[in-house]
Structure 1
């Protein structure tokens, strides 16, 4: 029982920290994350990208999604299903979105199914924190992204977007938790398990 309790405490702490970040700082951080990712050749070459539409105090992805789309990538965004698994639909510009469950914007395009993420060449996911040594991410608690990440091939880059201070030494893990390979922060991109900047 200790793991889930620790997760609850950590989620609460990080949400409080995020809520205290000034809006201008959040914007500047999101721009740096976007520029760092767009500089990576493996991001530039990804023809099909699974990403997400950020909400609240998450590192903003709106500019990143738009830039990937403008550069010619097909960008899929999640559509939350009743069972809390993720379906996927294609982003086709800002006008292609509509409020979904919990008010999070979702594409109006035809749903591709939960397995559509298997075909992505790059997967970008939200996280409240990530363990620098294992890549285990702390999500919101619904398990949606752990289920989605379980469908992603072992050679596909998976990236969690974080504010500074959210790459931690030790994130409580449970058997269903799925790691990511990279963390993108305002200060740069880190290849997890190595604690070194990504090449």
Structure 2
């Protein structure tokens, strides 16, 4: 019996999540600091006035230091708000006190909603993932929220820089199984460096 794309993705997700479960708080904090430094060194971020990002949860590489650094530098940071249909709305980051606990254990901004299309105003889109291959094909958690966001960016001119934030070892040499709705990203950033993809 042939393994379907969805089954292959599910198996890969399980392997990566099992590896991530071994990270302790110290390792996660160090990853967040390293990731901040790597992302801030990207030339696309040096020119950015607005960056769409997300608040990391669980064993994701920590985005807190990056959000704070961008905000301190006067960059407008847009954070996602999960909608009931799985799509993402956006709101501006106003500081740690402006984050509230939401569905699925997420932290979301409590400010005015700007609409799903607001992400088009960003000059850089930094997305979560579990892995990416050398062609920019990203493995997410399977909900499709960021597939919709990435698809919207294809219509923006000039193109928006897209980068997945990962732990070291999650940029894979093997191809990630793809479905028609999957949209590749331009780059990957890990605590030890950034890589251009595609």
TM, length-normalised to structure 2:
0.93
The alignment partner of 1:110 has SS state of: coil
1:31-110 equivalence runs, <5 A: 31-110=33-112
Unaligned runs of 5+ in 2: none
Q: Could you say which residue in structure 1 is the equivalent of 2:194?
A: 189
Is 20-29 or 156-165 further displaced after alignment? 20-29
Is 51-60 or 153-162 further displaced after alignment? 153-162
> Following TM superposition, where does structure 1 have runs of at least 4 consecutive aligned residues deviating by more than 2 angstroms?
none
2:163 equivalent among 159, 163, 175 = 159
Which deviations, in whole Å up to 9, do the C-alpha atoms of 1:54-78 show, x marking residues without a partner? 0000000011111101100110000
Is 15-24 or 68-77 further displaced after alignment? 15-24
TM, length-normalised to structure 1:
0.93
Give the whole-Å Cα distance in 2 for the aligned partners of 1:185 and 1:107.
Answer: 25
Which deviations, in whole Å up to 9, do the C-alpha atoms of 1:137-160 show, x marking residues without a partner? 100101000001111136211110
Which deviations, in whole Å up to 9, do the C-alpha atoms of 1:71-99 show, x marking residues without a partner? 00110000000000000011011111111
State the Cα distance separating 1:164 from its structure 2 match: 1.3
Give the whole-Å Cα distance in 2 for the aligned partners of 1:187 and 1:155.
Answer: 26
Asked whether the equivalents of residues 61 and 166 of structure 2 are also in contact (C-alpha less than 8 Å), the reply is: yes
**RMSD after superposition:** 1.1
